[in-house]
Amino acid sequence: MAMNLDQLRSFVEVASQGHFTRAAEALHLAQPSLSRQISTLEQDLGAPLFNRTPGRVALTDAGESLLPLARRMLADADSVRREMAELADLQRGTVRLGATPSLCVSLVADALQSFHASHPGIELHVSESGSQGLIEQLAEGALDLALITTPESRQTPRATLSRVPLLNEELLVVSAAQGTAALDSPTLTLTELAAKPQVVFHRGYDLRATTEAAYVEAGLQPNVIVEGPEMDAVLRFVELGLGVAVVPAMVLRGRQGFRSARLTDSNLQRTVSLAHRSDVPLSRAARAMAATIESIAAAMVGQTPGTSSV
């Protein structure tokens, strides 16, 4: 059966008008073209659809049976067109974004706010994990995009990844603004830091691995007071004066009640990159999210001390 939507549309219009000439005018078709479409449809179906009389046409039993089916098929086709148009205009869709915990409370939060304001119909799913865990989720197809950091993300992933470096970020020492644990200088050495009471992240956390590597290289043992579960908890413990912590520069944006210092003898920094699988095309919604993240990251370089372009 070679029935097509144009034929069905012509059939429904003739049934509605009860007249070939008026139906042809409504469809902006020449009457011979309309007649050929109906004739071809009747041949394909093997039954006449109209009883033709001078000045008037009426549906046959076969036409009566086809009419509700034809209207439903045309409605379904229109619905598909609308859905495709909405996707093309980024009115609907889903983006699955992964990020490290520290980026979730800084870069990701700003990017989601901007993206949702422009594309409120796009459903957003955010996953939090370490860089290697995010790489694995990308490889498994569980994420569309992931914000990862080096050096942990230098490990070889199970699938080819495309990475776009966004910015370099300094790791700063942070303390409460006041109290006995407050920093009294804008700079300090790694040896001085190791002697201070410290709030550290749990093992497996990207930042914990980076700072521990620096201590091991220098032959130092940090004075750990408390191990925090995640970024907000670590910052809260620091704010209460339990100790100092090493955190990325971006997480201090908009936060009050802290002092920060730079390390003078240790190059503690990381590169933030946006990654996705290179063997799977990104959806239009995911491409729009990637563009938003890149734009927000570029703006942060100029607004956040301790960050720089790659």
Q: CA–CA separation, 96 vs 290, rounded Å?
A: 11
Which band of pLDDT confidence, cut at 50, 70 and 90, is reported for residue 54?
confident
Q: CA–CA separation, 290 vs 140, rounded Å?
A: 19
Phi, psi dihedrals of residue 304, rounded to the nearest 5°? -115, 115
Percent over 90 (pLDDT), the chain = 56
Please compute, for residue 44, the number of CA atoms within 13 A of its CA located in the half-sphere on the CB side.
13
CB proximity list for 123: less than 8 A, separation 6 or greater: 93, 94, 95
Tokens of 150: 């080096």
In order of 103, 166, 249, the CA distances from 298 in angstroms are 15, 7, 15
Please compute, for residue 62, the number of CA atoms within 13 A of its CA located in the half-sphere on the CB side.
12
Domains and CATH numbers, the chain: 5-88 (1.10.10.10), 93-168+270-308 (3.40.190.10), 169-269 (3.40.190.290)
Predicted TM-score (pTM) of the model is: 0.69
In order of 124, 132, 161, 258, 284, the CA distances from 95 in angstroms are 5, 20, 18, 34, 10
Q: CA–CA separation, 142 vs 6, rounded Å?
A: 41
Spell 100-121 as b/e; 16+ CB within 10 A means b.
bbbbbbbbbbbbbebbeeebee
pLDDT number for residue 156: 46
* Terminal CA-CA length for the chain: 60
Q: How do residues 296-310 score in pLDDT, each as one tens digit?
A: 999 988 788 888 888
pLDDT number for residue 2: 57
Which band of pLDDT confidence, cut at 50, 70 and 90, is reported for residue 152?
very low
In order of 2, 18, 148, the CA distances from 24 in angstroms are 22, 11, 60
